[in-house]
Structure 1
Amino acid sequence: MSYRFDGKVCLITGAASGIGRATAQKMAALGATLSLSDINRDGLAETNTSCGGDKHMTEIADVGSSQACNDLVSATVSRLGRLDFVFNCAGVNPTAYALTETTDAYYDKLMNTNLRGTYNMTRAAIPHLSKAEGGAAIVNTSSMMGLTVAANYAIYCATKFAIVGFTKAMAMELGPKQIRVNAVAPGYIDTPTNAGVVAGPEAMAEQEKKIAIGRFGTAGEVADVVAFLFR
């Protein structure tokens, strides 16, 4: 790998596990200083330790709150001196519900975290990213279900399709400010909150039949793509 991120600061939401943790570890290995955020305090501490700990910072923050996102960005810049990259990884994985069985609380939970959280963090970060020497970058987390659909996942699909549209619009809006905006759209990834993983080995085996390479992807493989998009 020929690129490094020494002297750069990367803010990662949803950093306590899965893709967020793997990306934190990847970026730390490539020299970045990290601002790590999640609502899972113990998981966040574990991620920080696995990334070397001392030079990084952690903050408990609910990305569904615009004030929490504003405070997180302000704290990052105050403590680490700058902001170059944002990985909007915080999200809620879906549960299969027919629309008639979907509650307002479930709708609000997915919308507030997956979509509003991406919006809140992006808006808060823009003024600081625009000052980054050599340009800055945002990577948002969509899903294969932001590109295709499945019955009983309407609300999750709605959030992830919206992130694709949001990302494309932000790429056009922020490009002139030298801020690149992209999205990753993971498929079946072996993470602790993946529905198939939670359901157990039989469910995973059924899902693996739908995957061309015959196995789940790994969080590290997604992290490789995110790091590439930051370079």
Structure 2
Amino acid sequence: MAAGGKLEGRHAVVTGAGSGIGAAIARALAAAGAQLTLAGRRREPLEALAAEIGNERVFVAAGFDVTDPKAIEAGLAAAREKFGRISILINNAGEAPSAPFDKTTLDMWSHVMNVDLTGVFNVTQAALPDLKAHGEGARIINIASTAGLTGYAYVSAYCAAKHGVVGLTRALALELAKKGVTVNAVCPGFTDTPIISRSIEEVVAKTGRSREQALAEFVKSNPQGRLVKPEEVADATLWLASPNAASITGQAIAVAGGEIMAG
């Protein structure tokens, strides 16, 4: 799926770029020649990734809160000054707290919706004039989840938000189809990221299970019996960003070891 240098000269924005899937996607896009805006709330991990990739090819948009339209506008305006018009948008920022439904507070529900769903709306709407002006070859890629394609217990807010991301992806793909802008979702299964590590630690703390027992709960739904690697999600994203994926739009592509199969 590697795109080689086919993204040379393209300006890609990656939200939630500081670690995990976002950082893996940033590395893959950089290897394909893209100029990058690394967006996130915390500066330190973004600066570390920028140094790894090469600072001259990266703009760090710290303080980039996807729930704050003013912060988004400021970050994207500064990014445009550095690299010009945005032509690839990767909506990756998200959170996944867990709780039984009857213990899911309205504050938790609202927070997950604001970050995981409304955040995609906010950033996409802010970047859309650039993407439409770029036209043919522009890309919107939303990092959703298999939780956007099926249900999981104890993460009702996350499932609802990610189903919303998939629905938004499909609707926007139709609106932009004739403008040369493709819109797709990548839906990872349980992936080896800091979010999963924290979730495993929470299970250990709450249940007294060992880390190995907690991990087994996360991988049991994957027929391959393992966590997905962030680089595998990045590879699928890179393909969707490449010119070779021009006919792929409105899709929700599961990267989950066979857990989800489209019928």
Give the TM-score normalised by the residue count of structure 2: 0.83
Q: Deviations over 1:191-211 (max 9, x none)?
A: 011155445333112322321
Residue 15 of structure 2 corresponds to 13
Conserved 8 A contact 1:190-1:197: no
Conserved 8 A contact 1:191-1:197: no
Q: 2:80 aligns with which of 70, 77, 80?
A: 77
Amino acid at match of 2:66: V
Count of residue pairs brought into register by the alignment: 230
Q: 1:204 aligns with which of 209, 215, 228?
A: 215
Conserved 8 A contact 1:192-1:198: no
**Rounded Cα–Cα distance in structure 2 between residues aligned with 1:198 and 1:73:** 35
**Rounded Cα–Cα distance in structure 1 between residues aligned with 2:93 and 2:158:** 14
**Rounded Cα–Cα distance in structure 2 between residues aligned with 1:176 and 1:18:** 34
1:36 aligns with 2:41: no
State the Cα distance separating 1:139 from its structure 2 match. 0.3
CA 1:198–1:80: 2 relative to 1, 3 Å: farther
1:218 aligns with 2:229: yes
Conserved 8 A contact 2:136-2:181: no
Residue 257 of structure 2 corresponds to none
**Rounded Cα–Cα distance in structure 2 between residues aligned with 1:133 and 1:149:** 35
Residue 154 of structure 1 corresponds to 156
Q: Which consecutive residues of structure 2, in runs of 5 or more, have no partner in the other structure? A: 203-210, 243-263
Amino acid at match of 1:186: P
Conserved 8 A contact 2:141-2:183: yes
Residues 24-33 or 131-140, more deviating: 131-140
State the Cα distance separating 1:133 from its structure 2 match. 5.9
**Rounded Cα–Cα distance in structure 1 between residues aligned with 2:239 and 2:133:** 21
Q: Deviations over 1:33-67 (max 9, x none)?
A: 00011112211112212211222101121001112
**Rounded Cα–Cα distance in structure 1 between residues aligned with 2:125 and 2:46:** 23
Q: Which consecutive residues of structure 1, in runs of 5 or more, have no partner in the other structure? A: none
Give the TM-score normalised by the residue count of structure 1: 0.94
**Rounded Cα–Cα distance in structure 2 between residues aligned with 1:43 and 1:109:** 23
1:117 aligns with 2:119: yes
CA 1:2–1:155: 2 relative to 1, 3 Å: closer
**Rounded Cα–Cα distance in structure 1 between residues aligned with 2:218 and 2:162:** 20
Structure 1 vs Structure 2 CA RMSD: 1.5
Residue 143 of structure 2 corresponds to 141
1:93 aligns with 2:96: yes
Q: Deviations over 1:175-229 (max 9, x none)?
A: 1221100001110100011155445333112322321112111000000000100
Structure 1 segments (4+ residues) deviating >4 Å: none
**Rounded Cα–Cα distance in structure 2 between residues aligned with 1:39 and 1:31:** 25
Identical-pair percentage: 36
**Rounded Cα–Cα distance in structure 1 between residues aligned with 2:97 and 2:185:** 19
**Rounded Cα–Cα distance in structure 2 between residues aligned with 1:178 and 1:13:** 22
